[in-house]
A and B are shown apart, each in its own frame.
Chain A
């Protein structure tokens, strides 16, 4: 079974600084996708960034970027120039392209942004 581990239950960052959230996963598949979702206090789950496993280039979306290390099965999220609105719970998720595309989620990291 696939598992996703987020080893940091809580993280904090000063406004305008950079923070990295960790995620590791376990799989025997070679073709899969990885995602980071954000859940603010409103509890609406929002996609932050996605990465295809076959792509070597790390995905980037504005201030959000990932460090994808396929051999190490690591998928960390870097948030640059942190803003107060970035405060949320962040979930790492894994999905393969078979089996109805079910996604497996980590337990999340709560990010606090200090002004």
Chain B
């Protein structure tokens, strides 16, 4: 079976410090990978997605970046955090719907609660 791991679960960082959130998927190959951010009591905003190693697409201009160094590894980074980067970050994977007729939903990690102080 497939599993997704996301860490850390909670992070408190000062303004201007770097950030690295990591997500790994097991039990599947060549997944589509996604980073979402959720503001308190709100829906999910897509930040980045990746359809393959080294392929990153950004949805919104921001202080963050993403990388996919391995097929099942997705990293969210920042060189200098801003107060506005605080939020709940979710990593997710799905099978590529353009390559499969299987109606693959998103499978989410447990999320990271980031507080920038």
- A binding-site residues for B, Cβ under 8 Å: 4, 33, 35, 37, 42-47, 50, 52, 89, 91, 93, 95, 97-98, 100-108, 110
B88: contacting residue among A35, A43, A46, CB under 8 A: A43
Chain B residues 26-65 with CB under 8 Å of chain A are: 32, 34, 41-44, 46, 49, 51, 57, 59
B103: CB under 8 A from chain A? yes
In the bound complex, what is the Cα–Cα distance between A98 and B43 (angstroms)? 22
Minimum CB distance partner of B104 in chain A:
A101
**B32→A91 contact, CB < 8 A:** no
Chain B residues within 8 Å of chain A by Cβ, number: 26
**A47→B105 contact, CB < 8 A:** yes
In the bound complex, what is the Cα–Cα distance between A4 and B42 (angstroms)? 13
The 16 sampled A-B contact pairs (Cβ below 8 Å) are A37-B105, A95-B97, A97-B98, A98-B98, A101-B94, A101-B96, A101-B97, A101-B98, A102-B49, A104-B46, A105-B44, A106-B43, A107-B42, A107-B43, A108-B41, A108-B43
**B51→A100 contact, CB < 8 A:** yes
Q: Distance (Å) between the CB of B59 and the closest chain A CB?
A: 8
B110: contacting residue among A43, A47, A93, A108, CB under 8 A: A43
